[in-house]
Structure 1
Amino acid sequence: MTYFIDRRPNAKHKSAVNRQRFLERYRKHIKRSVEEAVNRRSITDMERGEKISIPTKDISEPVFQHGPGGARQVVSPGNREYLAGDRIRRPPGQGGGGEGAGEGGASNQGEGADEFAFTLSREEFLEFVFDGLALPHLQRKPLKSLEEIKMVRAGLARDGVPSRISIGRSMREAYARRIAMRAPIKRALREALDALEAEERKDPVLRNPARINELKEEIARLEKRIEAIPFIDTYDLRYHQLSAQPQPSSQAVMFCVMDVSGSMTQNHKDIAKRFFLLLYLFLERHYEKVELVFVRHHTAAREVSEEEFFYSRETGGTIVSSALSLVNGIIEKRYPSAQWNLYVAQASDGDNWDDDSTTCRDLLVKKLMPHLQYFAYVEITPHEHQSLWHEYATVADAFAERFAMRQIVEAGDIYPVFRDLFKRRLSTP
């Protein structure tokens, strides 16, 4: 009989298996509650869990009962008020706002039941937040260094650790050695047996007892030599040899480009920061080999640290092409497209010098987009789109699969737009 023992650590009085089954069963309710939680709380507060409530009627279990069965004839007493087909009015004074007493809601004379509530852990909450999201068009690139390797078999060797011993090859080596070592001894033994048999066939008068004793001693000595040959020797052992083989790596770099010009109000900057914080949390959770490059720009662009990207107060005019040129220079210097998956996420209010918007389009079409896997542009404005949006629209037409544009009006649009931009897509061949 086979016994299966689940040794996964569970909290006290809880079962991990049953909890996962419960989360999967009520995934639709939980996902809706998670989306509402994301919209009403700060993105910087995303890493804590969430309390989820499910209506009691949605967790009721089906109940099977035996009916009376058979044919029955029942005579019901009549009355003076109602006839067949009359509609009976609902009795007054029962039920209140919300759920009725019969469904678990409280009435003015009885008791009710609250909705079923439970708490999602941090990991469970983030799993629902980022469910179905992935970096689009992630491709396998040649490895630029030997950081990612795979140990593969590279033949056999006489030295190694016991865990890598090749039993089959070792037994074949031992068998071959025994055959090679026994062959001359068996040949000599066969000759000695033939000589002994010939000597014993002679006439007793011509038989030589000394020769017979000598042959018997020789036969005994040869048999001992055969028995002394070991079944397996350390010389026979063979071990699997492993070698480090470089593997293709899913390396990616995400460029976070944010407009910090004077036209970007504090509310616009807060929305952009929350979008990038959500993006950063998403990348950090799902990908180990993703590097982030932060670029701020007004009339000039600079590569900055994460802290300066979110909290610096520097401002000025708007020249978006300065940021795109800087991104292109960083790619050429540090991130060759043959080795890296390149992604750009840009947040702006759409304000830009008219002449510069054309320059941005040319930079994207001629230099950036041929090397990028994906470009996501988020315009944070409640107003009509300006020249930058219209020039980017021509780029989106030319690179429909790898260029996406969305508009954010208020903070509540951040999460739906984010899910739309980074929903899981089929990779291009």
Structure 2
Amino acid sequence: MSQKIDLDHRRFRQIIRGKIKRNLRKYISQGEMIGKKGKQAVSIPLPQVDIPRFRHGDKQEGGVGQGDGEVGDSLGQGEAKPGAGEAGDRPGEHLLEVEVDLDELAEILGEELELPRIEPKGAERIVSYKDRYTGIRSTGPESLKHFRRTYRQALKRQISSGTYDPKMPIIVPIREDKRFRSWKTEPLPQSNAVIIYMMDVSGSMGDEQKEIVRIESFWIDTWLRSQYQGIESRYIIHDAMAKEVDRETFFRTRESGGTMISSAYKLCAQILSDEYPSSEWNIYPFHFSDGDNWSVDDTQTCIEIVRDTLVPASNLFCYGQVESPYGSGQFIKDLLEHFNEEEKVVTSEIKDKEAIMDSIRDFLGKGK
């Protein structure tokens, strides 16, 4: 019975996985997967998966081929007028919410977008330690006492000494019977990564543009977290000035004013210099803007920071340009002019929510 249940469960998960893959672009563009994000899983709304079955009507009702009618007459009830029906006793069509682990979600994303596995750098330099239980010993703290081994040792002692009574099988361990789990500490090399999100929050970046950034950032996070044991995310917003904020502020800030992109790049470079040496961290700066900048001089400053600081320190430098009716869209052209041959600089134009999936492939498709 348990084997049949396991088989049915695996089959059900395969069905769900197939439905997610077929509708992945819809989920990405509408943000349905991040609406109820949990700590380790997300809730995914799917159409109800029903098992086919016969439905029987009342005995008094006629069936197909019974009653009055002529050849060619419709078997249906005709078109119902909106609001003309009566209250019914049949349930409506509901959605099934399925919990999917983020690791499985990342795997589905990678399969659908054909994303290559990332080869992290710095794995041999960042080390954490884990205690692994390797055996049994006769001394140790009570919290690590092994009950079954202690009971077995007490039983052997009582049998060998002749104090064991099968009619009254009472086992009383003494100090010499106690057994404890032993452990040793093992080094675990880890590949850590930091993602620095930068977003233009000037007046030309509206709620729709920031929603695109929010959705795309979630999927970028989902994939990169599946590739690294440890990952940190930092958030920078900027108009004419830049500042670091928390995640909630990053996506909810309403700002206005001009745009100086170099202010964000300078702050990003400072954070990396102070906290994330490139020899030990895998670094991913992502900048989202509508392409407007204050001046040609500031754009030149941005080019210098990207070339001299951000590109040498990063696995990838990614710039996503969100289309806005108020933005000129010039900045992506400037980046392409200077970095068209630089593999570590990746640009992507994001016209609308439907383009998010293609933009993620642009950014992560190189596997760096």
Q: What TM-score comes out, normalization by structure 2 length?
A: 0.63
1:147 aligned partner: 128
1:393 equivalent to 2:336? Answer yes
1:356 aligned partner: 298
Larger Rg: 1
Task: Tell me the secondary structure at the aligned position of residue 131 of structure 1.
Answer: helix
Pick aligned residue for 1:49 from 44, 51, 54: 44
Task: Tell me the secondary structure at the aligned position of residue 292 of structure 1.
Answer: strand
Given that residues 34 and 128 in structure 1 are in contact (C-alpha distance below 8 angstroms), is that contact kept between their aligned partners in structure 2? Answer: no
Equivalences, count: 289
1:84 aligned partner: none
Pick aligned residue for 1:309 from 227, 250, 260: 250
Given the superposition, is the C-alpha separation of residues 390 and 135 from structure 1 closer, same or farther in structure 2, using an over 3 Å criterion?
A: farther
CA distance in 1, matches of 2:23, 2:217: 23
Q: CA deviation at 1:15?
A: 3.0
Given that residues 43 and 278 in structure 1 are in contact (C-alpha distance below 8 angstroms), is that contact kept between their aligned partners in structure 2? Answer: no
1:60 aligned partner: none
1:331 equivalent to 2:266? Answer no
Given that residues 301 and 326 in structure 1 are in contact (C-alpha distance below 8 angstroms), is that contact kept between their aligned partners in structure 2? Answer: yes
Q: CA deviation at 1:142?
A: 3.9
Deviations 1:156-205 (A, max 9, x none): xx987899xxxxxxxxxxxxxxxxxxxxxxxxxxxxxxxxxxxxxxxxxx
Q: CA deviation at 1:28?
A: 4.8
CA distance in 2, matches of 1:426, 1:269: 26
Pick aligned residue for 1:421 from 348, 363, 367: 363
CA distance in 1, matches of 2:306, 2:133: 42
Structure 1: which 5+ runs fail to align? 7-13, 58-91, 96-106, 110-115, 164-240
Q: CA deviation at 1:141?
A: 2.8
Given the superposition, is the C-alpha separation of residues 23 and 343 from structure 1 closer, same or farther in structure 2, using an over 3 Å criterion?
A: same
Q: What TM-score comes out, normalization by structure 1 length?
A: 0.55
1:262 aligned partner: 203
Structure 2: which 5+ runs fail to align? 37-41, 53-70, 78-92, 146-181
Deviations 1:89-113 (A, max 9, x none): xxx9499xxxxxxxxxxx538xxxx
CA distance in 2, matches of 1:94, 1:40: 43
Which structure features the higher share of strand residues?
Answer: 2
2:82 aligned partner: none
Given the superposition, is the C-alpha separation of residues 94 and 333 from structure 1 closer, same or farther in structure 2, using an over 3 Å criterion?
A: farther
Given that residues 102 and 222 in structure 2 are in contact (C-alpha distance below 8 angstroms), is that contact kept between their aligned partners in structure 1? Answer: no
1:73 aligned partner: none
CA distance in 2, matches of 1:322, 1:357: 11
Amino acid at match of 1:361: I
Pick aligned residue for 1:108 from 40, 59, 76: 76
2:312 aligned partner: 370
1:131 equivalent to 2:99? Answer no
1:410 aligned partner: 352
Given the superposition, is the C-alpha separation of residues 243 and 143 from structure 1 closer, same or farther in structure 2, using an over 3 Å criterion?
A: farther
Deviations 1:252-278 (A, max 9, x none): 110010001122233322322333344
Q: CA deviation at 1:37?
A: 3.5
Given that residues 379 and 408 in structure 1 are in contact (C-alpha distance below 8 angstroms), is that contact kept between their aligned partners in structure 2? Answer: yes
1:21 aligned partner: 11
RMSD after superposition:
4.4
Amino acid at match of 1:357: T
Given the superposition, is the C-alpha separation of residues 341 and 260 from structure 1 closer, same or farther in structure 2, using an over 3 Å criterion?
A: same
CA distance in 2, matches of 1:369, 1:44: 31
Q: CA deviation at 1:293?
A: 0.6
Q: CA deviation at 1:426?
A: 4.9
